[in-house]
Structure 1
Amino acid sequence: MKPQYLVLAIACLTAFAAADPAGAQEQRTPVSHCQAIAKNIPKVTFASFSGAAPLTPAVSEGEEVKFTFLGHSTFEIDTPGGIVIATDYNGWYRPATMPDVVTMNKAHTTHFTLAPDPGIKYVLHGWSDIPGEKANINLVVGDAYIRNVPTDIRFSYGLGGAHENGNSIFIFEIAGLCIGHLGHLHYELTDVQYTEIGRLDVVMVPVDGGLTMGADSMSRVIKRLRSSLILPMHRRGPPVEAFVSMFGKDFDVAYAPDDSVTVSMRTLPKRPLIYVLKGVQ
């Protein structure tokens, strides 16, 4: 190619990119490092940082994620980059500052609101309003990558069979951590769903003992996920000990003096820890 034509071609490409920055942005699809690690280990469903030879990206000191239990199944997640996320946001339990992102679950009105504060920039529904379709979340906000894995739910109080894809497990990939919120999980996960989830270092799990799943079923899910840090939530009626009693000596249990915990890749428990925050006890 002659030099003058090469210069013209480069100029045209540059002008096109400048004219359509949004299109250029959309072409860069987020990549889940949590799924990648889980899929790259032969014959292993999950991967955990608690092993002897963890597969970890480089993470600088001070990259800590803070979890604060606000109530029911709502946690505030504060990222190192200053992004505020509220899970299962229903408008009743709110962070002290306006969240950048809220996730919602449609199992009951206590897990979503159709009238969120208009100042919230990203309102993510765990369900689709189009019959037969699944919610599909793939979003990068600041230093957080957010995705979902749809699951079925029962209709209210088990009446009328299953509502396909009515719940979502939301997954937050922040500062190298793989964080999962199980939402209003009604059924044990399938092999396909475990694969879609990948690795979870931190998991928020409902422990109501029956409104979602019984303690034995929920404990089987948690044992298979083998997360390093398990944060109970959504406790109604049964004491949290009913859930904790399903785990053996491979899991540690601790009761927090307050409603928050801060964790990083470097400070994850070496053994799986069920950490009961104040307000859940």
Structure 2
Amino acid sequence: MARLIIAVFLACLAGAAPAQDRRPSHCIAIADAAPGIAYLHRASWRAPLPEYSVRLHYIAHASFLLQTAGGLSAVTDYTGFLGTTALVPDVVTMNHAHDTHWTATPDPAIPHVLKGWGNYGEGIEHHLDLGEMLVRNVSTDIRSAFTGAESRGNSIFVFEVAGLCIGHLGHLHHVPNAAQFAALGRLDVVMAPVDGGLTLPLPEMVRVIERLRSSVVLPMHWFSGYSLNRFLEDISKSFAVERPGTSSITLSLRDLPSRPTVVVLEPRFLTD
């Protein structure tokens, strides 16, 4: 009888396991066996993905679609509109510095809606493990029209998937402190706002990116070719710059670029 009970218990555990295992990332502790990433530019957001890879599609402003080989999808700084598509993401993240980074009425069919803020000044903590993808956040402060600053009002969201650490800086208003950098760890990929005014001044944003030591930088939150080109001019002293003319990039854990690289994706809403 005891053996039967143990067998049933083990079977239940096996049934509860996630359909897709997450390849361990090296955000915090860099594993000796993790050789880095290789990337392929031309990839439609609807195309199948190879195993242990992730695709990022620049939708608009600060919104990106992240897709895994196992079929999970996440959208950053979700505004409620993705384009002419029936896609319902598994996860959306939001920040509330401006209404172009969140919505008060997210699609109720979305399983996981992660706000980047909590009660005023208290921040919020997320640690969502979906098996193939882990989503967590690090809180930072934002400017406030009422008190000058809202403590912990912005979240830098980190997606650990396919062995990669992918960070979205949100509406970053200050250089993170040592504890925040430590909590982020080393980001292989970072989506960084480069408007140069509403978020961080460009020299400070460049310092943040250099401190993160990311292999791939995806500029976002730029309002004109002028602001984007100013950022590219500043960052080109220490990063290679590529402009493939596409909206999507596929990444996998293989070989790091010989030099950290800024890849400029063109924003494009999703269409079925």
TM-score (norm 2): 0.81
For 1:95 and 1:144, locate their aligned partners in 2 and report how far apart those are by CA, in whole Å. 26
Partner of 1:56: 34
- 2:216 aligns with one of 225, 229, 233: 229
SS at match of 1:36: coil
Q: 2:94 aligns with which of 104, 111, 125?
A: 104
Runs of 4+ in 1 over 6 A off after TM superposition: 12-15
CA distance in 1, matches of 2:117, 2:83: 21
1:174-198 deviation line (CA, Å, top 9, x unaligned)? 0000000000000001011110000
8 Å CA contact 2:127–2:134 kept in 1: the answer is yes
Which stretches in structure 2 are left out of the alignment for 5+ residues? Answer: 19-23, 38-49
**Aligned-residue offset at 1:248:** 4.4
Between 1:136-145 and 1:223-232, the stretch displaced more is 136-145
| 1:259 paired residue number | 247
Counterpart-to-counterpart distance in 2, 1:162 and 1:198: 25
Hey, which of these two has a bigger chunk of helix by percent?
Answer: 1
Deviation (angstroms), 1:81: 1.0
SS of match in other structure, 1:91: coil
State the partner residue of 1:48.
none
Distance 1:221 1:246, change over 3 A: same
What does residue 107 of structure 2 align with? Answer: 117
* The one of 162, 170, 176 aligned to 1:183: 170
Report if the CA contact (8 A) 1:76-1:95 is conserved: no
Asked if 1:271 is matched to 2:271, the reply is no
Cα deviation per residue 1:40-80 (whole Å; 9 max; x = unaligned)?
9xxxxxxxxxxxxx651899x74221111100000001111
Residue type of the alignment partner of 1:35:
I
Mapped to 2, the partners of 1:205 and 1:138 lie a distance apart of 22
Do residues 80 (structure 1) and 65 (structure 2) align?
no
Cα deviation, residue 277, structure 1: 0.8
**Rounded Cα–Cα distance in structure 2 between residues aligned with 1:58 and 1:67:** 17
Larger relative strand fraction = 2
Q: Report the Cα offset of residue 12 of structure 1.
A: 8.7
Structure 1 unmatched ranges of 5 or more: 26-30, 41-53
> Which position in structure 1 is the counterpart of 2:41?
none
Contact in 2 for aligned 1:105/1:184 (Cα 8 Å): yes
1:162 match: secondary structure = strand
Amino acid across the alignment from 2:212: L
Aligned length: 249
Are 2:121 and 2:150, in contact at CA under 8 Å, matched by a contact in 1? no
Greater length-normalized contact order (CA 8 Å, ≥ 6 residues apart): 2
Output the CA distance in 2 between the equivalents of 1:194 and 1:101.
Answer: 24
Is residue 2:233 matched to residue 1:245?
yes
The sequence identity of aligned pairs, in percent, is 46
- 1:214, 1:108 → 2: CA distance? 18
1:167 counterpart = 2:154: yes
Using the alignment, how far apart are the partners of 1:89 and 1:161 within structure 2? 25
Name the larger-Rg structure.
Answer: 1
Cα distance between partner residues in 1 of 2:221 and 2:36: 34
